[in-house]
Amino acid sequence: MGIKEEILRLKKEKNAVILAHYYVIPEVQDIADFVGDSFALAKKAKAIDASIIVFAGVSFMGESAKILNPDKKVLMPDLEADCPMAHMATLAKVQKMRDEIDDLAVVCYVNSTAELKKVSDVCVTSSNAVDIVRKLPQKNIYFIPDRHLASFVQKLVPEKNVILNDGYCPTHHAMSSEDVLKAKSAHPQALVFVHPECPEEVVCLADYAGSTAGIIQAVKQSESKEFIIGTEEGVLHELRKQNPEKTFYLLSENLVCEDMKKVTLEKLYQVLRDESNEVHLDSKTMSVAYKAMDTMLEMTK
């Protein structure tokens, strides 16, 4: 039996579900029960009826699934697959902001550690950050950890005072306005669709900015035949599957998240077979972090 058949057999035998993010390698996306952006995956994790969740993604995604499903076994194909941005805010700075600024909400991008979620009022993803910030009663918003998603939100919700933190995603941060201009001159007919984790100078030049699922949906709805995509290259797999008649170019070279690429079929098979690499969080962390995650889900109902 090949590795794919073995995974499918184990999945059935153990009543397991495989969730995958659009940035993991195509082979892993293809074997998953559900592929999605961070928000869809969080919602799916909450609704899941299975004893084991195997999360093909990075640590914060596995942690979020565990926070939403404390009684389920959540397994990660590679425990070292971690989002660097998830650590780019500090508890001390959050406390300082709370001490110094009145009428403040701490808004935490899900790409963050469980410790950061614990001290936040609400979590957001790139697909709901604008709506949630708009709905919050507080005027001042300390947005952690991503400064680029924060400035994207500030532009669209000018009535709030969004305070930026200095975190960023190394993969998206590397794109520049010169890259956009270069890609446009190479492909003058193409529309530019980017992720809001890109720097503002890139988002400003784009025809559309949204989450990975947002980009996929916007491409589907567009009549254009060519697209320049400003996000991690893994998303091209779904874009090409859904739109074989359309052509996609990456906005710049090397749009690769090394951590997402650590997830392989072999590792997925091993953790499913051995029920290893389980996500463990203490019950206090889970119950406190749950509030910020659940507030997000409630605010988007």
Residues that bind ligand SF4 (CB under 6 A): 23, 58, 83-85, 111, 169-171, 197, 232, 257, 259-260
84 binds, among ligand SF4, ligand 13P, none (CB under 5 to 8 A by kind): ligand SF4
Give the list of residues 6+ apart from residue 233 with CB closer than 8 angstroms, or none. Answer: 250, 255, 256
DSSP class of 164? E
Q: Does 29 bind ligand 13P (CB under 6 A)?
A: no
Q: Does 128 bind ligand 13P (CB under 6 A)?
A: no
Least distance (Å) between residue 283 CB and ligand SF4: 26
**Toward ligand 13P, which CB reaches closer, 120 or 211?**
211
Least distance (Å) between residue 2 CB and ligand SF4: 29
Q: Does 37 bind ligand 13P (CB under 6 A)?
A: yes
**Toward ligand 13P, which CB reaches closer, 169 or 263?**
169
Q: Which residue blocks in the chain are alpha helix, DSSP H?
A: 3-13, 26-31, 38-47, 59-68, 91-100, 114-118, 129-135, 147-156, 170-173, 177-186, 200-203, 212-221, 235-242, 265-274, 283-299
122 binds, among ligand SF4, ligand 13P, none (CB under 5 to 8 A by kind): none
Greatest alpha-carbon pair distance for the chain in Å reads: 62
* Element holding 2 (H helix, E strand): none
Nearest alpha-carbon partner for 292 in 20, 42, 87, 51 = 42
233 binds, among ligand 13P, ligand SF4, none (CB under 5 to 8 A by kind): none
Choose, by CB under 6 A, the member of 111, 112, 165, 285 that binds ligand 13P.
111
What are the Cα distances from residue 106, in Å, to 89, 118, 151, 179? Answer: 12, 10, 15, 33
Least distance (Å) between residue 274 CB and ligand 13P: 26
CA 127 from chain centre, in angstroms, equals: 9
- Which residues sit at the interface with ligand 13P, rule CB under 6 A? 21, 37-39, 83, 111, 125-127, 169, 195, 197, 211-212
